[in-house]
Structure 1
Amino acid sequence: MKKDLTGKITRGTQRTLDAFFTAITALLAEKPFADISVNELCERAGYPRATFYNYFEDRDDLLNYCWTALSKQANLADLALTAPEHRVDTALDAMADILESNADLLRTVLENNPPEGPLFSSLHMFIENQAREIIRTCIDRDRFTLPTDLIADHYANTVMLVLDWAYLRGHTLSRTQLHDYAHALLRGVE
């Protein structure tokens, strides 16, 4: 992303980011990601192309910003403070909360963008990378003889697999079932 969002964000910058976020989510509810042009995004957001390119490299960069904005809702920063035996459940619950709170949008986006398409491939990659980084920082290294990065990848892939199964593939699961499925799949590591 061209804009540095690590510091304080001005109201104007936030307004612009919000406009592009709203534009892409509205367009995703109407058509596949592959069919959305930068011109359409700019028209829907009410900004010229130059503004889009001041903020984003391309449509994929905007999509990554959207994933980041949604992930801030998850509030996973405190995961390292959570007891090790509850971390997978806490991470699953936080990500499930985001998916459930955006269920209507997810449903309309799924109508135009199949789970195996580029949009959800981008989402998978983002969630796996986020989960991997979070898990890598809070693995109890004394409990495992395997490399930390390998364990983090395993946990991240398992969390994504269960979320994908429940929310993108349409298998309705309770939170207890989400937890049970993840723990059953992780049993070899835990």
Structure 2
Amino acid sequence: MMRKRTQVREPRTDAEGERTMKKDFNGKITRGTQRTLDAFFDATMALLQVKSFADISVNELCEHAGYPRATFYNYFEDRDDLLTYCWTALSRQAELADLASTEPEHRIDIALDAMADLLESNTEPLSAILKNNPPESAMFASLHMFIERQAHEIIRTCIDRDRFDLPADLIADHYANTVLLVLDWTYLRGHPLTREQLHDYMHTLLRGVE
């Protein structure tokens, strides 16, 4: 008897080929939906601090969250989709000042501080999560990619486009990649720096275009 082949769903992607979530949670949502999302967020963060993402099943997530599998799949495509939501929820803790009203030469520092503040405010759980999910793991790659995308989105709003002869998007990518590099070195790969050192490293690496 032939065994029925399991159909593998392709992840949802946007026009640029980036993976997108099953649902858009950026708009106004009900209290019930928020309670559900909070429960799955808490379950994911708790489990990641004691085991690797690869070893966490949907059933385990549902058990810790207190919801059935049907509810999970009503909100999320799969575990990766839930993980993306968790990083998005964490990023909302970052408090960015009004960059448009800030002097252009200071915007990059404000953006760096906002992302550094976010990582530092979650040092304890992040350390536990990274202990169970090393740099070669899928979860680390997911976190790294999310921070990279956030950095690019933020930095594109910081660039003073009139300062350079090079294309603005190219400069924005260069700045974002540099910010990601020092954040990754400091917070994800375990090379502690003071905030002053963090800024010094960034500006030293950016000196080629500043």
Give the TM-score range, shorter chain.
Answer: over 0.9
Q: Which residue of 2 aligns with 1:7?
A: 27
Choose from 107, 113, 117 the match for 1:87. Answer: 107
Q: Which residue of 1 aligns with 2:60?
A: 40
What are structure 2's unaligned runs of at least 5 residues?
1-20
**Structure 1 length normalisation: TM-score?**
0.94
Query: Does 2:89 match 1:72?
Result: no
Identity %: 79
Q: CA RMSD in A?
A: 1.4
CA contact (8 A) 2:97 2:110 kept: no
- Cα deviation for residue 32 of structure 1 reads 1.0
Choose from 134, 152, 157 the match for 2:172. Answer: 152
Structure 1 moving runs of 4+ over 4 Å: none
**How many residues are aligned here?**
190
CA contact (8 A) 1:3 1:54 kept: no
- Cα deviation for residue 76 of structure 1 reads 2.8
- 1:14-55 Cα shifts (integer Å, max 9, x gaps): 100000000110110111111111111111111111111111
What are structure 1's unaligned runs of at least 5 residues?
none
C-alpha separation between the residues in 2 aligned to 1:82 and 1:51?
A: 44
Mapping of residues 134-173 of structure 1, within 5 Å? 134-173=154-193
2:44 aligned partner, one-letter code: I
- Cα deviation for residue 117 of structure 1 reads 2.0
- 1:77-126 Cα shifts (integer Å, max 9, x gaps): 63333221112211111111111111110111121011332112111211
1:158 aligned partner, one-letter code: T
Q: Which residue of 2 aligns with 1:187?
A: 207
- 2:36 aligned counterpart, secondary structure: helix
Mapping of residues 99-114 of structure 1, within 5 Å? 99-114=119-134
CA separation of 1:56 and 1:77: change in aligned 2, threshold 3 A: farther
Query: Does 2:49 match 1:29?
Result: yes
Structure possessing the higher radius of gyration over alpha carbons? 2
**Structure 2 length normalisation: TM-score?**
0.85
Whose helix fraction is larger, Structure 1's or Structure 2's? 1
